[in-house]
Amino acid sequence: MSGFTLLPGATGNGQQTTLGVMGGGQLGRMFVQAAQAMGYFTAVLDPDVISPAGLVSHYHIQTAYLDEQGLAQLIQRCAAITTEFENVPAPALFTLGAARPVAPGAEAVGIAQDRIKEKAHFVRCGVRCAPYAVIESAAQLAAVPDDLLPGILKTARLGYDGKGQQRVTSQAELSAAWDALKGVPCVLEKMLALKAECSVIVARGADGVCVNLPLQLNLHRDGILAVTEVFDGNLPAPLVAQAIAATRAIAEQLQYVGVLCVEFFVLQDDSLVVNEMAPRPHNSGHYSLDACDLSQFDLQVRTLAGLPLVQPRQHSPAIMLNLLGDLWIDGATPPWDQVLALPGAHLHLYGKLKASKGRKMGHLTLTGATVAQVRATALQAARLLGIAPF
């Protein structure tokens, strides 16, 4: 993929360069909007007729991800293709990658799709993980040492936002949980006493240039990201430097091209362990749309098109509140007029027509001149929306 550049705007023959994305959710929507702002045409492949990205893209190819005709249309339309979620079938990415530049590539996405491969990659990179055991057979289940309990049993594939995970405190609970998951390959991670959770987003080009957004301090509720805070001093400087270096190493070892997020746990002794990676922009990076001179989606466009990467600059402290479908339950309408009266309030709704409990409907970013000001405004917004304080 190295050595090519897709310039934005019209080409010499009057055609617009088209960038494609597999997946039509909110991440695809924000990628499409960033690409269009730079002068690209966009194409989305997603089976949902009302997908958020499909509704705003120049082209919406409404087929399944493995549909041969749909993939052929995407190849015909696009000069390069990315993905908005890690569970795009690997065969689809291999098909696309044989004909067009694809970033991230099928191999990197395949590792992120499988916790067993992911853990092995972290170990190869010298990045510390929580103690864990791989469980793919009854023999491996029986061999799990007692010192890994209590732990969290996680399916190796297709788990996100707390799905496919179960806490277990004994060998009996572990066996019952694995049976409940139908004996699919799993990873058991030892439960550790956590002080905080954080994430780092990097963007790496085909030329090896790598830049990063600031470290993001995250709060999860029920396995779903609720609040992200980004400002200088949110964690000790050595810990921040360690997390950034580890994320860059993970991307470098993969020869990764694209935007990559790595999530970490901060333990009570202020040490750091890696949790997981996402081969795409990430919920915790949405604040960058309003608080940085380059957002994570600008970086995604640049890595896909082979454009120069420059280190993003955060110009304002920021707090992001995730807006879940719970706010709309029973037909309620959130008080957006009151929320938008707050200084530094930036509302992003994703165009989803149906709200349900736990579904990501949008996010609200608060920015300001000082951390104290932003925190006070964010708490006020949370009260207006009925979101638990943080």
Domains and CATH numbers, the chain: 18-102 (3.40.50.20), 131-190 (3.30.1490.20), 194-385 (3.30.470.20)
**Global pTM value:** 0.95
Structure tokens at 21: 């994305």
Pairing assessment for the beta strands 360-367 and 345-349 based on DSSP bridges: antiparallel
Q: What is the pLDDT of residue 160?
A: 58
pLDDT over 70 for what percent of the chain?
97
What percentage of the chain's residues is helix, strand, coil (to nearest 5)? 30, 25, 40
Cα separation of the two ends of the chain: 43
Q: What is the pLDDT of residue 390?
A: 86
Would you say how long the chain is, in residues?
390
pLDDT tier at 159, thresholds 50, 70, 90: low
pLDDT tier at 161, thresholds 50, 70, 90: low
Q: What is the pLDDT of residue 90?
A: 84
Residue 332 near residue 352, CB atoms below 8 Å = no
pLDDT tier at 172, thresholds 50, 70, 90: very high
Residue 173: partners with Cβ closer than 8 Å, 6 or more residues away: none
Mean pLDDT of the chain: 95
Tens digits of per-residue pLDDT, 352-386? Answer: 999 999 999 999 999 999 999 999 999 999 999 99
Tens digits of per-residue pLDDT, 29-83? Answer: 999 999 999 999 999 999 999 999 999 999 999 999 999 999 999 999 999 999 9
pLDDT tier at 223, thresholds 50, 70, 90: confident
Instruction: Evaluate the CA torsion angle 324, 329, 331, 337 in order and state its sign.
Output: negative
pLDDT tier at 232, thresholds 50, 70, 90: very high
Tens digits of per-residue pLDDT, 261-272? Answer: 999 999 999 999
